[in-house]
Structure 1
């Protein structure tokens, strides 16, 4: 089995808010990957004493442990358990009902000799490659499908969009959000490799249009995860002044790529 994991902060002077792990059970019969992209809150109150990296480290650590140690528990249930465990760690000190309480997008994948299970919540991506080379993206595109007017202000997002019916969902303090995730399973023989990318890395496709998802996967397989992130950084620097592709987005975002091949 070949695995690669690269996670790079958008700004070296700021903590990386992403989390990534690969867990391989001692039995050697499968594995899991966990990728979280912490949501950077707008300036102002969040109701929480803790940082986004604090939150993603604890949620990611809980997910890694639970998805490995409870192989028969569905991924959505494992996410709900991990959210509850993380919320319990700061419920006594923080207002977890605040709409800007620390939160994250999530990609989970777990493979056994029989199946490959997956879960996606919000705008990170999972790419699955079949033995014939076909690449299939598994996405939660609810955020991308929202009218731009509905995202015009932070107050509007807080009140009507984030973790609301008709909006988009992230892992925060409410474990029921796990039921909103995109989930599925495939026979193991139908998948020979997979990759999880936070939106700082999916810019290769979604912002800079270097190719489609299949092109991105082929680049990743051939050049490696570090080269994919490096290419995104080069494209960001080239567009930093004109902002033809970046628009009003931050110039650099935390970028994480996990690649697994068997």
Structure 2
């Protein structure tokens, strides 16, 4: 089995809000990957005294444990349990109903000798390669399909779209959101490798148009996750120097996990 993981913060002076892990059960068969992209809140009150890295560490830790220790529990249920467990740790001290309570996008994959299960919630990406080299992106594209005008301000998006029907969903404090994820099961023989990317790394495809998902996957497989993140950073610096940074952060936390089960 080949597993590689690389993560780099968008700002070296700020904690990385991403989380990534690969879990391998003691029996030696199967495994799981977990990738979370913590959602950076706007300045101001979030109803919570805890940081986004605090949240992603706990949610990610719970998911790593549950996806390995409970192989017969569907990934939707594992995510629901992990959200509930994490919420319980700070429900007595924080307002978890606040729209900006700590939250994250989620990518999960779990493989056995028979199947590969997957779950994607919000705008991180999971790529699956088949034996003939075809790369299939497994995406939750609800956020990308929303009109830009609906996302004009964070306050507007929070009030009308965030974790609301017709909008987009992230893992926060409501366990029922797990049922909103994009999920599926593939025959194990149809998957030779997987790559999971937070949107900070997926910029190579989605923002900079350096290639398609298959090109991105081949880059990660050939040169490793760090090479993709390095190239994204180079492109970000080049665009910033030309005054083309655009909306959002110049640099975002970027995480890539590559697995050949």
Interval of TM-score (by shorter of Structure 1 and Structure 2): over 0.9
* Cα distance, 1:98 vs structure 2: 0.2
Kindly report which structure 2 residues correspond to 1:75-224, keeping only aligned pairs within 5 A, or say none.
75-224=75-224
Runs of 4+ in 1 over 6 A off after TM superposition: none
Could you give the per-residue CA deviations for residues 179-218 of structure 1, whole angstroms, max 9, x where no partner exists?
0000000000000000000000000100111100000001
Aligned residues: 261
Q: State how far apart, in whole Å, the 2-side matches of 1:128 and 1:77 are.
A: 22
* Cα distance, 1:153 vs structure 2: 1.3
Q: State how far apart, in whole Å, the 2-side matches of 1:242 and 1:139 are.
A: 31
Could you give the per-residue CA deviations for residues 87-137 of structure 1, whole angstroms, max 9, x where no partner exists?
000000000000000000000000000000000000000000001100000
Q: Are 1:247 and 2:243 matched, yes or no?
A: no
RMSD: 0.7
Q: State how far apart, in whole Å, the 1-side matches of 2:13 and 2:231 are.
A: 21
Q: State how far apart, in whole Å, the 1-side matches of 2:93 and 2:115 are.
A: 41
Segment of structure 1 superposing worse, 173-182 or 148-157: 148-157
Q: Please list every run of 5 or more consecutive structure 2 residues that lacks an aligned counterpart in the other structure.
A: none
Q: With structure 1 as the length reference, what TM-score do the two structures score?
A: 0.99
* Cα distance, 1:240 vs structure 2: 0.7
Q: With structure 2 as the length reference, what TM-score do the two structures score?
A: 0.99
> Partner of 1:230: helix, strand, or coil?
helix
- Partner residue, 2:260: 261
